[in-house]
Chains A and B, each alone.
Chain A
Amino acid sequence: MNKKNGFRLFVSALAFSGLLLTAACTKNTEQSNNTKEEKQAEAPPATPIDPATVATVKGSVKFDGAAPKPSKIDMSQDPACKGSNESENVVVSGGDLANVFVYVKDGLGNRAFDVPKDAVVLDQSGCKYHPHVLGVMAGQTVQIKNDDQTTHNIHPTPKDNREWNESQPPSSPAIEKNFAREEVMLPVKCNQHPWMKMYVSVVKSPFYAVTDKSGKYEIKGLPPGDYTIAFVHEKLGEQDQKVTVAPKETKTVDQSFKAAVE
């Protein structure tokens, strides 16, 4: 090998080592970023609500027409996954539609609310997320658990919040995160088990609910006033209703969704 080639080789090897080092440092920085809690903006003091006048909005959400058959999930790629093998895209039972996120979209004005100190729990069990749709206030802690004997990675893909991706081996401590900004139906997925998907709805007020298997929901403690109630489904979209609630009133607001045109 002549001198020129030797020099070229030396420079190449040197630069390659430098790149590897840079890449390794990048990884360390990223890890330390991931472990940090998302910084919350300084919250204004909560606007007082008179508990003697608060109202309740409740109701049920129906699915019009023939319910779609749930898709089958093939979990064979991971023997540790022994959950139910049906998808939860559209869960209908006797015309009742589950997993609809219901929240007060408009009418609360500039009211501020205390962020609950209790964490909401998102569990991974049977290689599925429980619940499938989760409501949380902006800044509230979400505690993510792994009850499976396999590694999951939790990867929210938000539009308005910070994206992150962390893996969680079996029997590891819960991951605690929060979302700083309002974002309804923020998808969360696991790239190790591609069927695993759920939605987190981040809102500014505590006035939200998710319909249960019987399609029912209830929003308590609402100050009297005029509101827009939004019903949001991951596949069927959003529907809004205007509603006026008087002091101490319990108002029933039902909603129905039709099958989405594919």
Chain B
Amino acid sequence: MFKSGLGRSERPATLKGEDSRLRLSKEHVLKAIPATYNRAHHTFAVFVACATFVVITAGALVTSNDAGLSVPDWPTSFGYLVKVPHFVGGVRYEWSHRMVAGTLVSLTLAIAIWTLLVEKRRWLRWLAVGAFWTVIAQAILGGLTVLFFQPPAVSTAHATVAQTFFCIAVAIALFTGRKWVEEQPQVEFDHRRPSLMTLTWLSIFVLYVQLILGGMFRHHGMSWWPHVLNAVIVSFVLSWTAIRAISVYSNVDAVRRPAIIMLSLLIAQLCLGFTAFLTRVAWGTSAVQPELPMVAATVAHVAVGALLLATTVVLAIQVWRHVPVAFAERVPQARQDVSAA
């Protein structure tokens, strides 16, 4: 029996004939690397994903309170690496963000080393190393945004890479989980077009576009309307994806659950986006300082946005695993024609 920790190419189930299925299955059993569930490693991976969410929320608090440049130097803070400064005003948000982000770099280094030590799946080891380099790139972007006084493109890249890293952390937590490692995937072929796989990739794409547009607006590089306009497209694509997943593959738990969560988060995110628009754009233009309703609404909007993107990535991974695309078998005409034999 093969382990479900295998990649999809190693999965024996295909639409080909019975003989080839058996042959493929055998070959792949021989090639299979037995992944083992490591509870401590998985728990730590989940912890890293949760810590990433905290850092994203802390970053959202910095931007929402217009505190991004309250500590003018980087990588030191007022000349020191870790000395606690006078903890008032914008410094509270910016300094705390730097400290939790620094902790996250250490946690990511730890999960990367741990994964290299205990993990037998080569692609997962690479993913863990990739996570480490992503968090380093993210830290450098954070530094650049301070040193160059928050250029919209750099600050938006900082926001986008943050959520990309969150998705990687969530994926590592998923791949190291007991279900992924020990359970045999329940596979159903997808005959519809566009396939659910295509829809999930499209969902990720429109969410990234939305993330960039939102970041550009938030960092004063663009007007609000492209973000609002794309919200309509995001709502349509994500609803389509979620409804397809829930209605057609309701029997596949691994697909149904993230699809339901994605739809719920989408609704919450639309409500938060509307609230953020009201508090910040419609009512808050002449505010002399960031007020609590606008800070709460925008921070929640960023946090739920990160959860929505991560859930969509999880759905895409599960669809890739459980609902592969079925292709029509292309048998040469001569072999189809019985009389030719």
Contacts and interface: CB of A to CB of B under 8 A. Distances in A.
- Do A and B pair up? The answer is yes
Interface of A: 1, 5, 8-9, 12, 16, 19-20, 23-24, 26-27, 30-31, 71, 73-74, 77-80, 87, 89, 150-151, 153, 155, 157, 163, 165-167, 191-195, 197, 235, 262
Given A23-B143, A191-B68, A194-B290, A5 B88 contact: no
Nearest to A87: B288
A16 B132 CA distance: 10
A192 B117 CA distance: 44
B116 A89 contact: no
A26 B90 contact: no
Contact of A9 (B116, B143, B286): B116
Given A5-B117, A8-B116, A9-B116, A74 B91 contact: no
B89 A27 contact: no
A194 B117 contact: no
The 4 closest A-B CB pairs, nearest first, are A192-B89, A191-B70, A78-B88, A195-B289
B274 interface: no
Nearest to A156: B149
A150 B75 CA distance: 22
A151 B136 contact: no
A103 to B, nearest CB: 26
Contact of B140 (A8, A19, A71): A19
Given A8-B116, A27-B76, A195-B289, A163 B149 contact: yes
A27 B117 contact: no
Contact of A8 (B65, B75, B129): B129
Nearest to B75: A23
Contacts of A71: 286-288
Given A12-B129, A71-B287, 15 more contacts: A8-B116, A9-B113, A16-B136, A23-B74, A23-B143, A24-B75, A150-B86, A155-B72, A167-B72, A191-B66, A192-B67, A192-B70, A194-B66, A194-B289, A195-B288
B322 to A, nearest CB: 31
Contact of B78 (A19, A24, A167, A194): A167
A192 B71 CA distance: 8
Contact of B89 (A31, A165, A193): A193
B69 interface: yes
Interface residues of B, number: 41
A27 B112 CA distance: 28
B73 interface: yes
B92 to A, nearest CB: 8
Contacts of A77: 88-89, 92
B233 interface: no
A150 to B, nearest CB: 6
B69 to A, nearest CB: 4
Interface string B90-113: 111010000000000000010011
B217 to A, nearest CB: 18
A191 B116 contact: no
B229 interface: no
Contacts of A5: 116-117, 125
A191 B76 contact: no
A30 B75 contact: no
Contact of A151 (B86, B132, B286): B86
Interface of B: 65-76, 78, 85-86, 88-92, 94, 109, 112-113, 116-117, 125, 129, 132-133, 136, 140, 143, 147, 149, 285-290
Nearest to B66: A194
Contact of A78 (B66, B72, B89, B147): B89
B60 to A, nearest CB: 15
A212 to B, nearest CB: 22
A47 B285 CA distance: 45
A12 B129 CA distance: 8
8 contacts: A16-B109, A77-B89, A78-B89, A151-B91, A155-B72, A167-B72, A192-B90, A194-B66
B78 A73 contact: no
Contact of A165 (B72, B129, B143, B288): B72
A59 B233 CA distance: 56
B65 A194 contact: yes
Query: Interface centre among A19, A150, A163, by most B CB within 10 Å?
Result: A19
A26 B147 contact: yes
Nearest to A23: B75
Contact of B73 (A12, A27, A197): A27
Contacts of B285: 262
Nearest to B146: A165
A80 B285 CA distance: 27
Nearest to A5: B116
Nearest to A1: B117
Contact of A27 (B67, B74, B94, B116): B74
B288 A73 contact: yes
Query: Interface centre among A24, A80, A194, by most B CB within 10 Å?
Result: A194
Contact of B149 (A23, A31, A150, A165): A165
A183 to B, nearest CB: 16
A71 to B, nearest CB: 5
A157 B91 CA distance: 19
Contacts of A27: 73-76, 147
A62 B94 CA distance: 42
A191 B69 contact: yes
Nearest to B88: A78
Given A31-B73, A194-B65, A26 B288 contact: no
A30 B75 CA distance: 11
Contacts of A167: 71-72, 78
